[in-house]
Chain A
Amino acid sequence: MSAVAPWVAVPAVGGALVAGVYATGVLDALAGRRRAGRPLAVGDALSLPWRRACLLLVQRGVSTERPDASAWMLAPALYGAMAAAALTVVPLSEGRVVADLRTGIVVWGAAEMLAMVGVYLHGWSPNSAFPLLGAYRFVAQAVSFELLSMFVLIAAALPARSLQVTRIVESQESLWNVLRQPLGLPLFVVVTLGVAFWGPLNLPDGDDLAGGTGAELSGPARLAWEGSRAAWLVAASAMGAAAFLGGWLGPWLPGPLWMVLKTLALLTVTVWLGHRAARVRPERFVVSAWTVLLPLAFLDLVVAGVQALP
């Protein structure tokens, strides 16, 4: 277990997240306008997230009647900080990882679950009806996809015989997990969309709830919340790239570049799905998560387990 000094680790994780969040904003603008039939020039898309961030920063924040002000302010911080914590266990390349913990995927799971607390508090604290409904929706959603997340990651850990993410990448030297365990990556994409409540799984902040947990948000608080959601999309795409697409492994190009390219590829897929797939109803997602996706995750675990037998 190697330790990275805090003055290296914090800028590394923070920088990766800021760059990833910005890339998400650009991809989202491009995909959204393309879907709407009015394609955006790449130059305009490059400046759009920056302009939107500036607008939100100078916008006045409004409040509700008797909110739990501290919880409301801290909830985006908790949710975003958990994305950063989750990203610390994902390696950029061989030896380049902030926290090379033996319990890497357990850290990931703990971050995912504490993120749920952040979303719930974010919806509960404004003392407003639509945000509260969104908060309850997210708990139902998160409890449903969390088991998927753990089962597919345990399946990825089986060939490595380790919960350490670097070992999981190294175990894919001969064959990537996306081919060895074909169910793993599609299920993890569902988890990615779920944890960032993006596109089809935007149940807590959906338009049908007038913005859900974010219904009362404005100004810098909205910027923090939207940034944190994109940060989770980035962190989960990076984990998907490491656990299923072989992380830094690949010919010709240097390792870190492969990792960035694979993460960006997954990010593009999730952002694209966000504009192409219709939002599902909460009941339908919860029922299908427990009756269809969870058995598929069991099957994934069985496939990985049989292959891991000596």
Chain B
Amino acid sequence: MSDSAWVDGFFWLFSVGAVASGWRVFKTASMVRASFLLLASVAAGAAVMLLLAAEYLGMALLFMMAVEMTVMALFMVAFMMNPAGLNPMRMVHQKTLAAVAGWVAFLGLAAVGVFGDLPDRPLVDAATALEDLGVELLGPSMLVFESAAVTLLAPMIGAVVLSSSRGRFGPADHGSAPPDADGEADERQTDDRRPR
């Protein structure tokens, strides 16, 4: 078997894998499973990028998405009151809007693929591609990437501030009481028993 046959075989394997795990995201009943199925889908996409000789971008995608999906799973479980993500819950809502948005995105991308003027020059040397990417990121496109970075950083800091128990005005659970055996908050315990 020649090298290109291997590459074609793996391309189809990872493409089908990306679509299949993407579909399973909406079929599972657990936030944690949904997050890691999405990670599997993105990882298959990253593998396709590696096959396309986008060595750095493929690896960086794996690198970032592993952290991102884990943190996403944790935050979703933390904010959605779904203990450990093991309680079943539906992954689909706003079906009409989602279907319309999905078809528009699919048709748009398909139109780009079919009618677009795609370059057909084979990549000669992956080393220069890596260097070109670095020069582009730290040169002409620096402002775009830095703006995106700061835009992403702001909500991250916001999420940490919202979920941190230590706030500017003292502990977040100040004045709150643990529920008793019936699930009702005990009125007698609402006074502050914790030292600041």
In whole angstroms, how far apart are the Cα atoms of A102 and B54 in the complex? Answer: 11
**CB atoms of B66 and A113 under 8 A apart:** yes
Question: With an 8 A cutoff between CB atoms, is A268 at the interface?
Answer: no
Tell me which of A24-32, A48-56, A115-123, A227-235 binds B. Answer: A115-123
**CB atoms of B66 and A114 under 8 A apart:** yes
**Partner among B33, B59, B66 whose Cβ is within 8 Å of the Cβ of A103:** B59
Q: How far is the CB of A300 from chain B (nearest CB, A)?
A: 20
In whole angstroms, how far apart are the Cα atoms of A104 and B104 in the complex? Answer: 39
Size of the chain B interface, CB-CB below 8 angstroms: 24
In whole angstroms, how far apart are the Cα atoms of A114 and B61 in the complex? Answer: 12
Question: With an 8 A cutoff between CB atoms, is A109 at the interface?
Answer: yes
Question: With an 8 A cutoff between CB atoms, is A106 at the interface?
Answer: yes
Name the interface size band of chain A. 20 to 34
By secondary structure, the A interface counts as helix
Contacts of A170 in B (CB 8 A): none
Question: With an 8 A cutoff between CB atoms, is A58 at the interface?
Answer: no
**CB atoms of A124 and B85 under 8 A apart:** yes
**Partner among B70, B84, B127 whose Cβ is within 8 Å of the Cβ of A117:** B70
In whole angstroms, how far apart are the Cα atoms of A109 and B71 in the complex? Answer: 17
**CB atoms of B63 and A109 under 8 A apart:** yes
Q: Which of B60, B67, B130 has the most CB of A within 10 A?
A: B67
Question: With an 8 A cutoff between CB atoms, is A68 at the interface?
Answer: yes
Question: With an 8 A cutoff between CB atoms, is A169 at the interface?
Answer: no
In whole angstroms, how far apart are the Cα atoms of A101 and B56 in the complex? Answer: 10
Closest residue of chain B to A68 (Cβ to Cβ) is: B33
Contacts of B33 in A (CB 8 A): 68, 71
**CB atoms of A121 and B62 under 8 A apart:** no
Closest residue of chain A to B64 (Cβ to Cβ) is: A113
Q: Which of A107, A114, A116 has the most CB of B within 10 A?
A: A114
Known contacts A102-B55, A102-B130, A106-B59; 16 further A-B pairs (Cβ under 8 A) = A1-B126, A68-B33, A102-B126, A103-B55, A107-B59, A110-B60, A110-B62, A110-B63, A110-B66, A114-B66, A116-B67, A117-B36, A117-B69, A117-B70, A136-B74, A146-B67
A-B contact pairs, 30 of them (CB 8 A): A68-B33, A102-B126, A102-B127, A102-B130, A103-B59, A103-B130, A106-B59, A106-B60, A109-B63, A110-B62, A110-B66, A113-B63, A114-B43, A114-B62, A116-B66, A116-B70, A117-B36, A117-B66, A117-B69, A124-B32, A124-B84, A124-B85, A127-B84, A127-B86, A132-B84, A139-B70, A139-B74, A143-B67, A143-B71, A146-B67
